[in-house]
Amino acid sequence: MNIIRSIKGRYLGWRQRAVQRQLLAGFDAPADEITRSQWDDSLKNPTAFYLRCFHYFHTRLPEPLREHRAYFETEGRGFGEKSFHVMWFLLFREFSPQSFLEIGVFRGQTVSLAGLLARHFHLDCFTQGISPFSPAGDAVSRYRCDVDYYDDTLKNCAHFSLPAPALLKAYSTDEAARNLVASRNWAFVYIDGNHDYEVARADWDLCAAHLQPGGLIVLDDSGLTTRYAPPIFATGGHPGPSRLAQEVDRTRFREILQVGHNRVFQKI
Ligand SMILES: C[S@@+](CC[C@H](N)C(=O)[O-])C[C@H]1O[C@@H](n2cnc3c(N)ncnc32)[C@H](O)[C@@H]1O
């Protein structure tokens, strides 16, 4: 069984790389700039917008950010997709956040990207991660057991000469974590911890209550309930966060951007 799974995995990886190479070969000019007024396009046609971000990544995104993604693409250091680096770049450029909270840190790809973007845009952005820093998974995710997730996150931030982010070793539903979230009003929150509906819902409710007016919540893995049709090298998300996104109170939050399975909501 393991051999068959391994062969299937390799074949899928090969096809994913082939499709990406094909797309790259079709880019005969650098991507156009993506302006704020075009973000609505991502809601109307999320698949085309995702591919636009893919093009942008390869032809326009600053080199240090591309290198950061390459580092996390190796040795199983990170999840996510290249286009998500473009999403964070657009969000930091547009909103200049002064605080960033990530729920579900894994090995530090996004907390370190927040640090890198803060440096790139000369921002003073307080960065906080909340995660068990263990292989704790959920109904749809399993993580390796042979990594010290806390040390690894710090090591990966140091690799880019970034200051260590503030890290709390806890489940987002623990009292210490809930108190920490409630300790300030955040500019940006990224929810990417436990993907089970009940936990994602609890994360949303708490973070929504402690978000600045005009602040953003990025909800990972929530694209299944949209028109987004992921290319073979991307995924549409998971049922829990996707259901949650459907239930977001539109009188309190406006959806402003979708990049693949990441959906961005702004507090009104
Ligand atoms: C998909 S990974 C996160 C990837 C990360 N956001 C990134 O951009 O690289 C999900 C992480 O959430 C953690 N996690 C699981 N349950 C959690 C919970 N209840 N609260 C916070 N984090 C949780 C997992 O252990 C794992 O590290």
Give, for all 268 residues of the chain, the pLDDT tens digit. Answer: 688 888 888 899 899 999 999 999 999 899 999 999 999 999 999 999 999 999 999 999 999 999 999 999 999 999 999 999 999 999 999 999 999 999 999 999 999 999 999 999 999 999 999 999 999 999 999 999 999 999 999 999 999 999 999 999 999 999 999 999 999 999 999 999 999 999 999 999 999 999 999 999 999 999 999 999 999 999 999 999 999 999 999 999 999 999 999 999 999 9
206 touches ligand 1 (CB under 6 Å): no
d(CA 62, CA 67): 9
Strands (E), the chain: 99-103, 126-131, 166-169, 186-191, 211-219, 253-259, 262-267
Ligand 1 pocket member 131 (CB < 6 A): yes
Q: What is the pTM of this model?
A: 0.97
Which domains, ranges and CATH numbers included, belong to the chain? Answer: 31-267 (3.40.50.150)
Ligand 1: does its nearest atom lie under 6 Å from the Cβ of 23? no
Q: Are 25 and 54 in contact (CB under 8 A)?
A: no
Instruction: Give yes or no for residue 103 CB within 6 A of ligand 1.
Output: yes
Residue nearest to atom 9 of ligand 1 (CA): 109
Distance of CA 88 to the CA centre of its chain: 8
Locate the ligand 1 atom nearest the alpha carbon of residue 78 and give its number: 9
Containing H/E element for 195?
Answer: none
Each residue's pLDDT tens digit, 72-124 = 999 999 999 999 999 999 999 999 999 999 999 999 999 999 999 999 999 99
Provide the pairing of β-strand 126-131 with 99-103: parallel
* Spatial separation of the C-alpha atoms in residues 40 and 52, rounded to whole Å: 13
Tens digits of residue pLDDT in 168-183: 999 999 999 999 999 9
Rounded to the nearest whole angstrom, what is the distance from the C-alpha of residue 77 to the centroid of ligand 1?
13
